[in-house]
Amino acid sequence: MKLCSYVGCRTPWDLFSWIRNENMANTLTSSVIKTLFINPCCFQNPYIIATRNLSAASLLISKSIPCTISNPNSTFKHRNKKSFHTSTCSKTFWERDPKGGYVSKEKRSTIKTIREGLGELKNEIQLWKEEVKEKFEFDPLLLCRPGETDIFWQFGTEASNSKWVTTADSDHNEGFSTCELVTSPAGKGLFRGNLCTAVPKDGKVKKAGYCNMRCTRARKSFKRDSFYDWRMYTHLVIKVRGDGRPYFLNISTMGYFDVFWNDVYHYALYTRGGPYWQVSKVPFSKFFLSSKGRIQDKQAPVNLDRVSHFGISLGDKVEGPFQLEIDYIGLEFDPTHTEEFAYEMYQLPKFIAAN
């Protein structure tokens, strides 16, 4: 406290900046810095108080402070150390962007952007006309009749394949898997590629091996983001011809706040090899919630009025080629299905477990 009041520091990071600027790293012992972090009275900072149980060494290194601690009585030495995190998630409460840092680094000129925008103006006006026409002609009684499957995506043409985006770990230098969506010899969509679980030797990636195909974002005219509204349906219907490998059906429901950006509902799709087609009918009540690949303790039904993406992914840790032939993906309304959510949740007392 005397040191902080002397240099006029209000936060720990101001103190460390002063230490580096004034070349004071060799005069402060690790016990002094550790006292500043463990004692919540030193700084009125909620982040420091919440993480005061961490050791001073791990917290300093996770904030990229250029120092090392060999033992409690050693002095600090300037070193350039790569930052690491003590938890699996580096950002606790705030996300920089919805894509988690996987953004395109392509630089586009302003003139080229304006030309492409003027070229798309005609298509956007036509799309706006179709929106107005659909608003007046929309009839929910004719849209979802019981027992009928409304085809949402039909595969087999280049136009239908362009509505999907394929990604793999090799796209971001995090693995060696490859995939693509092409037209099969039978005139259907063919999701194929090669799955590789080899980990790049960069010291960052620990696990690898995934391939994914996802539809483009639902949007309105003039590049306005929108959502698919599936509240009138109860089942997802997909007709595929697989290779015997298990796939994941993914429903993304991007929320307004950043903590909901990565909410994805999953359900396993087990395929059988051979020349025969299979029609899988999956209730929406069977999908379970996950975020950033981790199944959540608190589950909830799918928010069907805010569906932003639908995708199919493969990550069964089995190396080798794969192929999934898809005929169509549709929706169905079954009035006999009354289940809202298939997974029962328990409300425990606060003194037993966190609620």
For each of the domains in the chain, give its residue range(s) and CATH number, in order of start.
2-62 (no CATH), 145-332 (2.60.120.430)
H or E element in which residue 114 lies:
helix 110-137
Judged by average pLDDT, the poorest of 23-27, 56-60, 195-199 is 56-60
Q: What is the pLDDT of residue 31?
A: 43
Question: Would you list the DSSP string of 180-215?
Answer: EEEE-TTSSEEEEEEE--PPPTTSS------EEEEE
290 contacts 296 by C-beta, under 8 angstroms: yes
Judged by average pLDDT, the poorest of 122-131, 139-148, 337-346 is 139-148
> CA-to-CA distance for 111 and 121, rounded, in angstroms?
16
Residue 140 clears pLDDT 60, i.e. is over it: yes
Per-residue model confidence as pLDDT tens digits over 1-47:
434 433 444 455 555 555 555 444 444 444 444 444 434 344 333 33
**b/e string for 81-115 if b means 16 or more Cβ within 10 A?**
eeeeeeeeeeeeeeeeeeeeeeeeeeeeeeeeeee
| 198 dihedral zone (left: phi>0; alpha: psi -120 to 50; beta) | beta
Q: What is the pLDDT of residue 354?
A: 53
H or E element in which residue 230 lies:
none
Model confidence band, residue 262 (pLDDT cutoffs 50, 70, 90): confident
Q: What is the pLDDT of residue 32?
A: 45
Q: Which of 238, 264, 267 is nearest to 331 (CA)?
A: 238
Per-residue model confidence as pLDDT tens digits over 267-283:
999 998 878 999 999 99
Residue 68 clears pLDDT 60, i.e. is over it: no
Q: What is the pLDDT of residue 353?
A: 55
Calculate mean pLDDT across residues 118-143. 78
Residue 217 clears pLDDT 70, i.e. is over it: yes
Calculate mean pLDDT across residues 336-346. 88
Token representation of residue 278? 């299979």
Average pLDDT over the chain reads 75
Residue 64 clears pLDDT 50, i.e. is over it: no
Percentage of the chain exceeding pLDDT 90? 35
Q: Higher pLDDT residue, 355 or 60?
A: 355
Calculate mean pLDDT across residues 247-253. 94
Q: What is the pLDDT of residue 86?
A: 42
Model confidence band, residue 165 (pLDDT cutoffs 50, 70, 90): very high
Calculate mean pLDDT across residues 69-83. 40
| Alpha-carbon separation of residue 139 from 153, 310, 335 (angstroms) | 20, 24, 18
Q: What is the pLDDT of residue 135?
A: 77
User: Dihedrals φ, ψ of 275, to 5°?
Assistant: -85, 0
